[in-house]
Amino acid sequence: MSWLVLAIAVVTEICWALSLKWAATAATWQASTVPIVLSFVNMGLLALAMRGIPAGTAYAVWTGLGAVGVIIGSVIVFGDRVPPAQAAFMALTVVGVVGTKLFATG
């Protein structure tokens, strides 16, 4: 169950980061509220996941997949570009996260 909560926290992290850019471009109070709310939800989910997963493992998975997800999301939503070298390092990050999950003790 902790891994499912962590997966939801990763998705929330991606939405939170993308909403920051959206809030900066929209410049309304409603748009500014979204990242604030998502931040609280995100931290709560991460904390909940850490009840059953070691903190270092949970944080590594959360940040790694969150970073890759934000890059992919920014390509889709905002039309950002990803150079081939960056894509290769993103793949290495995913390999590291998969290895972290496979050898996790929690």
Continuous H helices in the chain: 2-26, 29-49, 55-78, 84-102
**Quick check: 73 pLDDT over 60?**
yes
Mean pLDDT of 8-12: 97
Reduced to 3 states (helix: H, G, I; strand: E, B; else coil), residue 34 is helix
- pLDDT band, residue 106 (cuts 50/70/90): low
| Distance in angstroms (rounded) separating the CA atoms of residues 24 and 74 | 14
| Distance in angstroms (rounded) separating the CA atoms of residues 87 and 68 | 9
Reduced to 3 states (helix: H, G, I; strand: E, B; else coil), residue 4 is helix
Task: Report the percent of the chain where pLDDT is more than 70.
Answer: 98
Cα of first residue to Cα of last residue in the chain, in angstroms, is 11
Tell me which of 5-14, 26-35, 41-50 is least confident.
Answer: 26-35
For 90-99, what is each residue's pLDDT tens digit? 999 999 888 8
**Quick check: 45 pLDDT over 90?**
yes
pTM for this prediction: 0.87
> In the chain, how many domains are there?
1
Q: 62-96 as b/e, with b when 16 or more CB fall inside 10 Å?
A: bebbbbbbbbebbeeeeeeeeeeeeeeebeebeee
| Distance in angstroms (rounded) separating the CA atoms of residues 60 and 80 | 25
**Which residue segment(s) compose the domain that 49 sits in?**
2-102
For the beta carbon of residue 4, count every other beta carbon within 10 angstroms: 9
